Structure 1
Amino acid sequence: MDLNDLNIFQTVAAHGSVSKAAAELSYVQSNVTARIKLLEKELQTPLFYRHKRGMILNAEGKRLLQYTKSILSQFEEMKHAFQSTSTPSGVLEIGIVETVVALPSILHAYYSHYPDVELSLKAGVTEHLVQEVAEMRLDGAFVTGPVKHPLIEQFDVFQEKLVLVSQGDDFSVEDITTRPLLLYKKGCGYRERLETWLKMEGIIPKQIMEFGTFETIVGSVAAGIGMTVFPESSISGLRAQGHVHCHALPEPYNEVTTVFIRRKEAYVTSTLQSFIDEIIAQIQA
């Protein structure tokens, strides 16, 4: 058993499929199958329930996955520690929710100061990005806060107002029961705020349509397909042009905080520390 075996096992567990894991890892399928069988032989126990549509972890597989995540995370931390230099360089992997309007100014300032750093940005919803940071697949992320996770450290970046967004300027709460809501998939912090408010008010939406990008949602709202919820600043341009209109959400559901997160107790490279310092400098400017 080696680290590569554990990485293969974790990838198969994540996809529930040998073929999908092989595609992600750029391995031939037979090699992935063989490594899983050797791992099961070495541990003297099956790790998956196998069926026609794929594979599902059994109890022993779930137990091994916990150890695997811990081992691979510590290995990544060790690599970061030894690769770190006093001068920020290399690749910095940062997650973002798509509507962080202050991000361009932060990135511009950081690139100006540290041209040797290659920033890799990964867009996603808050819930997924938090898990990626906790498992050290990302160095850090901008997400909707506050975040409650035992492995996550966070600090506030800025606060914004959440608003309901529609094509027309006439709006009543009853519209939510007659028109579709266009939202990001589950795990989005904005969607969670809206759904909490609707639940408290006893409002049942007519329909929820899930989309994967900010542009698609806003374009669909502007076309009159339905309504959405976004930070007010992220749609200010379209609002000024008259393509969409904003409607207030009641307190406390209308306030959203963007936070930057990193894994607690993980080694902070000079590259990551310089990025955090730049965020703080931008906040205080």
Structure 2
Amino acid sequence: MNIQLLNVFLTTAREGSISKAAQALNYAQSNVTNKIQQLEADLQTKLFYRHRRGITLTPTGQILVSYSEKILNTIEEARAAMGESSAPSGPLRIGSMETTAAVWLPELLADYSNHYPNVDLTLETGPTEQQIQAVLHYELNGAFISGPIEHPDLVQEKVLEEELVLVTSASHTAVSSFHDVQTQTMLVFREGCSYRAKLNHILQEEGLLPVKLMEFGILEAIIGCVSAGLGISLLPRSIIAAHEKQGRIRSHTISDKYSSVTTMFIRRKDTLITPALSAFLTHMRTHFQKKLELTKKEN
């Protein structure tokens, strides 16, 4: 099976169109079409349905996506292993929730980059579900997500446990339960965010009707709009602590039943532990252990 054909197929499947795949690969559209037809002839099966709106994977095409990801990732790992030295180097792709990246990762990433300048470190932020899928599809070497989760292909490691709080404008009156704010607009991250999922779960548990939701892509926008009195949010205390000290917002404790949130680091079980990833795991564990010890002293 031709590796180049698999790469063209997988890129087309991910992009969802011939034209977008051609642009991503810097190929002519006819070249992409020809290569897909070659692969279909080789496998003696149709991989895409063609229609007016573009293309859609057939059932056999969907199966081949999974195998293609594994094959191409294994080839990448083999190339990396052949050229590997004991010193960490090469690409390292890490994912994270926006909130974790904003508060807990800057010091860790800076320290790691200073120790290993030959590692091409990339950080991609997004909701938990997006990070899980990126790790499963070999697009990330690992990711910080809200957990724990259960998946047969993933290894997870607990790195942090935090307290969730309701966040309002600084002038807001005291809040003792979600019933006090059930008519207010909730400011949330986009679908796939674990805090948003937690909020939905709490509202269901409390027997409350769905509140009006306003969706945001970045943390700073949520904090700014909460401060302005546009609505309220549910976030980890560590994320909003500095803003509360500045007098911009106010936090309100919620029931212990709902307040705990755990951050996990996940990676695929079959992922090659390169020197770059191994060094990152060591730095990560040291970093969060120090943070835990500091928190205990402060308390």
- Residue from 120, 134, 139 that aligns with 1:137: 139
Is 2:156 the partner of 1:151? no
Mean Cα deviation higher: 269-278 or 177-186: 177-186
Distance 1:251 1:16, change over 3 A: same
Structure 1 residue ranges (4+ consecutive) displaced by more than 4 angstroms after TM superposition: none
Tell me the residue number matched to 1:16. Answer: 16
1:13-63 CA distance string (max 9 Å, x none)? 223222222233333323222222222222222222222222111222122
**Mapped pair 1:115 → 2:117:** yes
1:100-152: CA deviation from partner (whole Å, max 9, x where unpaired) = 11212212322332232231111111111122222221111111121222111
Comparing 70-79 and 153-162, the one that deviates more: 70-79
| Aligned residue in 2 for 1:183 | 188
Report 1:115-264 matches (<5 A).
115-167=117-169, 168-170=171-173, 171=175, 173-174=178-179, 176-264=181-269
Corresponding residue pairs, total = 285
The farther-off stretch of 35-44 and 235-244 is 35-44
Q: Is the 8 A contact 2:69 2:138 kept in 1?
A: no
Which range moves more in the overlay, 179-188 or 166-175?
166-175
Which residue does the alignment assign to 1:53? 53
| CA distance, structure 1, for counterparts of residue 37 and residue 43 of structure 2 | 10
Residue pair 1:140, 1:262 contacting (<8 A) in 2 also: yes
Measured after TM superposition, the shift of residue 176 of structure 1 is: 4.7
Q: Alpha carbon RMSD of aligned pairs, Å?
A: 2.0
- Amino acid of the structure 2 residue aligned with 1:147: I
Q: Give the fraction of aligned pairs with identical amino acids, expressed as a percent.
A: 44
Secondary structure of the corresponding residue to residue 257 of structure 2: coil
Judge conservation of contact 2:145–2:264 (CA < 8 Å) in 1.
yes
Q: Structure 1 residue 234: deviation in Å?
A: 0.9
**CA-to-aligned-CA distance 1:232-270 (integer Å, 9 cap, x gap):** 111112111222221223233211111222211322111
Give the conservation status (yes or no) of the 8 Å contact 1:176–1:206.
no
Q: What secondary structure does 2:85 align onto?
A: coil
- The answer on whether the counterparts of 1:80 and 1:267 sit within 8 Å (CA) in structure 2 is no
Is the 8 Å Cα contact of residues 167 and 233 (structure 2) preserved in structure 1?
yes
For 1:206 and 1:254, how far apart are their aligned partners in 2? 19
The unaligned stretches of length 5 or more in structure 1 are none
Closer, same or farther: CA 253–174 of 1 in aligned 2, 3 Å: closer
- Are the equivalent residues in 2 in contact too, given 1:181–1:205 (CA < 8 A)? no
- Distance in 1 between the 2:267 and 2:278 partners? 11
Aligned match of 1:272: 277
CA distance in structure 2 between the aligned counterparts of 1:113 and 1:66, rounded to whole angstroms? 35
Inter-partner Cα distance in structure 2 for 1:151 and 1:121: 22
- How many angstroms does 1:175 deviate by? 5.6
1-side partners of 2:231 and 2:4: how far apart? 47
When structure 1 is superposed on structure 2, of 232-241 and 58-67 the one drifting more is 58-67
Q: TM-score, normalised by structure 2?
A: 0.87
Contact 2:141 2:271 in 1 (8 A): no
